[in-house]
Amino acid sequence: MGEIRVQKLSSGKWEVTFLLEPDIKQKRIEQLLETIKNGLYAQSSNELNTLIPIFLVASGVKVPSPVFHSYLVLGSDEDREGSDFQVSGLLDGLSNSWVEGPVFVFESKRVRWDRREKEEASKKWNARLKAEWNDFKKELFSFGDTREGEAES
C-alpha cells in the first residue's frame, strides 16, 4: 500500500515522508478532485451549508501551487446571456508555464467564462481544454503516466 519514512534532520527537526503506490495515489487524487468538483458541506451555528463550485478550473501543474486564481477577475456579465457574472483572465492563466496537461473549465448558469476570451482560448488551446469531467480525468491521469515514463527513460 505504501511506506512512511521518518528521519531526524541535523537541525533536530523531523522529516516525515508518506509514499504511496502509484495506483493508490491516483485513486486518492481522483477522490479529492471529485470531492472538490461535487462540493463540500460546512457546519456553523448548527446550520449545514453546502459549498458547491459555480465556476471551476482544474489542471495538472508542474509546481504544487495554485496557478489560476491570481489571474481570474469576476465581473458583471455585460452581455447578459442568462448569467449574473463572468470570469475573465483565464486566458492569461493558460499561458502560465506551470500549467501542463489538460484543463477542465466548469461554468454554471450564474457564472460564465467571458465569451470573447473563451473563443480566443478555444482557438489557441482547444486540444487542452476539456468540457467533460471524465475526459479531463482520463487525459490528466494518462498524461501523468506519460510524464513518469519519460522521466524514467
pTM of the model: 0.75
Q: For position 64, what pLDDT does the model report?
A: 86
Give per-residue burial for 60-95: e unless 16+ CB within 10 Å, then b: bbeeeeebbeebeeeeebeeeeebeebbbbbbebbe
> Do both 78 and 44 map to the same domain?
no
Find the domain containing 148 and state its range. Answer: 54-153
> Do both 118 and 141 map to the same domain?
yes
Q: Please compute the mean of the pLDDT values over residues 99-104 and round it to a whole number.
A: 92
Q: For position 38, what pLDDT does the model report?
A: 92
The whole-angstrom distance between residue 105's C-alpha and the CA centroid of its chain comes to 9
Domain count, the chain: 2
Q: For position 80, what pLDDT does the model report?
A: 55
> Do both 114 and 89 map to the same domain?
yes
Cα–Cα distances (Å) from 11 to 14, 15, 74, 84, in that order, read 9, 11, 45, 54
